[in-house]
Structure formats: C-alpha cells, structure tokens
Amino acid sequence: MRVLIQRVERACVRVDDVEVGAIGLGYLLLVGVQIGDSQAQVDQAVRKLLNLRLFQDAQGKTNLNISQAGGAALVVSQFTLAANLKNGNRPSFDSAAPANLAQALYQSLADGLKNQGLTVETGRFGADMKVELVNDGPATYTLEIPPNV
C-alpha cells in the first residue's frame, strides 16, 4: 500500500463538477492499493497516519499529529501510485490490486481513520476526479507499507 500524504490548508475533490468531499486543515491522502495488500496494511497505515507528527506547534516545531492540530482527512483512491515506471515509456500497473479488493481496502482505510475520531471525507472510487488543494509548506510525504506477498 502506498499513501501519498499532503499536508493541506484545504482540499476538495469533484466528480462531474460536483464537490463530493472537502476539508480545511489536514491531510489529502492519495491511496494506492497493491497486489498482496490486506487489512494488515490498512491497520498499520491508520495507526501511522494518526500518530505522525507533521503539524507545527506554537513554537513552529512539527510536534503535532493530525488530531492535535484539529485536522481532517480527504481520502482519495489513486491506483496510479502502484505504477511501475522502470521499463519502457508507458507505466505498468501489474502490481495494482484488482478493483474489488482495492475499493474494499481503500474504504477500510477511510473508515479506520473515522472510527478513531478523525473527520474524514472521501473521493469516489473509480471515478474521474478533479482534486484541488493548497499544500501547506509545501509538505508531501510518502508512506509505503509493503504487501505481504
């Protein structure tokens, strides 16, 4: 599982010009599910995302986790995070999980964050989405939790 974490001042996602999710301060989480991923990767990602200290405290140090900062999460599926660019000029998506598994694990990640008290908005799995964000910093991080193949 790969999660691209963008610390944002605000972010939203639209499908067919209709806003389906929006947050203020928090994380835009782009989630790529790979073959071999399971609930174990989701559980590990949820724990890590809740505990990462990526927000600044009153002294300007990155000492606050998302809950302490009063943040929310916008969770968006992005299968292109499973792309392999090593060979040729066209990405290979051979390591991307099948859609039914990817959707279930993506939803489980969003639900896991929500169940821990975080405000969570989502995109629409499989849709052509338009994502807008104001990246704070800019601060972008990659969380990679290898599949159990």
Residues that are catalytic:
78-80
**HEC readout, the chain:** CEEEEEEEEEEEEEECCEEEEEECCEEEEEEECECCCCHHHHHHHHHHHHHCCCEECCCCCEEECCCCCCCEEEEEECHHHHCECCCCCCCECCCECCHHHHHHHHHHHHHHHHHCCCEEEECCCCCCEEEEEEEEEEEEEEEECCCCC
Tokens of 15: 């499908």
Nearest to 2 by CA among 140, 122, 146: 146
